[in-house]
Amino acid sequence: MKRPLVIIGGPTACGKTAMSILLAKKIGGEIISADSMQVYRYMDIGTAKVTLEEAEGIPHYLIDELDPDEPYHVMIFQKKAKAYMQQIWERGNIPIVVGGTGFYINALLYDNTFTETDGDSEFRLACYRQAEENGAESLYQKLLEVDPEYAATTHANNVKRVTRALEYHHFTGEKFSKHNAEQKQKESPYQAAVILLTMERQQLYQRIEQRVDEMMKNGLLEEVKGLLERGYDGSLVSMQGLGYKEFLPYFDGKISLEEAVAELKTGTRRFAKRQLTWFRKQIEGHWIDLSLTEPETALVEMLEYIQSKGILIDGQPKEA
């Protein structure tokens, strides 16, 4: 019998954290973060990490588990998440995987296989250096040459995704688009309910603007400064994350603080748009528009959908 798994995905700032906690309280869930940045310590404000108060006693995993200079990639996520899922099932609870890193979510949902080279960092860092020194477009041109199909689904400025595809091709000789197509044909080994949250575009953008303003009030600039003072510089993959890389030129004296904040808002809007595009194209699930639905109503819809997937029986968690 397949074991139950609930996934909540969607763009940044759409309300995933709040909805996942409401759901977890209803179904006996424990939350695993599918976010490529929240796993790092000292990076709280810029990653919109759930606070102790917000968690309301619901256990969260893959948050604050690594230092910013430690490697973290899809293979590590997949291995750690599966271990936590096993522990959650053994307690008779339901794992709820929550986040906006779609690649991680797909890898877990379909138990995708990866080569050991997917964890190699030397080639990846070389790609990041090329993008930094010669521009993201130069890296994207390489992808166009080796895998035009995947390039067509990826924005040139999404250096992480471009690098991931180049890395796969470099070590395997195969196209990443071909690999993804093969993996998508697999059936999930779990009794899974995938819930995808969205929001009207302008409302989402307004929430992003407000979130960045709140981050600044809560000390985001001091957080980035503290990371630099700890010796975590811009060469690290973690420091190239959204919410951190935008302030590096400010501390180098190249741009003003206002310009850095504006860049963060613009970058976050673009990121949210890319996330929505990815989820629509790459994963199947039940969409809920939170700009049209109150949280309480959305929760009822989530519960009904989960029950329709065989995870809840008469409102009770299905036994693993």
pLDDT classification of 320: cutoffs 50, 70, 90: very low
H or E element in which residue 73 lies: none
DSSP string, 180-197: HHHHHTSPPSSEEEEEEE
Q: CA 163: distance to chain centroid?
A: 16
In whole angstroms, give the CA distance from residue 19 to residue 156: 32
In whole angstroms, give the CA distance from residue 249 to residue 254: 5
pLDDT in tens, 201-217: 999 999 999 999 999 99
Q: Residue 179 is encoded by which pair of tokens?
A: 């690999």
pLDDT in tens, 237-256: 899 999 999 999 999 999 99
Contact residues for 29 (Cβ-Cβ < 8 A; gap 6+): 6, 20, 23, 58, 93, 94, 95, 96
pLDDT in tens, 50-102: 999 999 999 999 999 999 999 998 899 999 999 999 999 999 999 999 999 99
SS3 of the chain: helix, strand, coil, percent, to 5: 55, 10, 35
pTM: 0.84
Assess contact for 166 and 143: CB atoms under 8 A: yes
Q: 3-class SS at 244?
A: coil
Alpha carbon distances (Å) from 173 to 55, 107, 108: 44, 20, 24
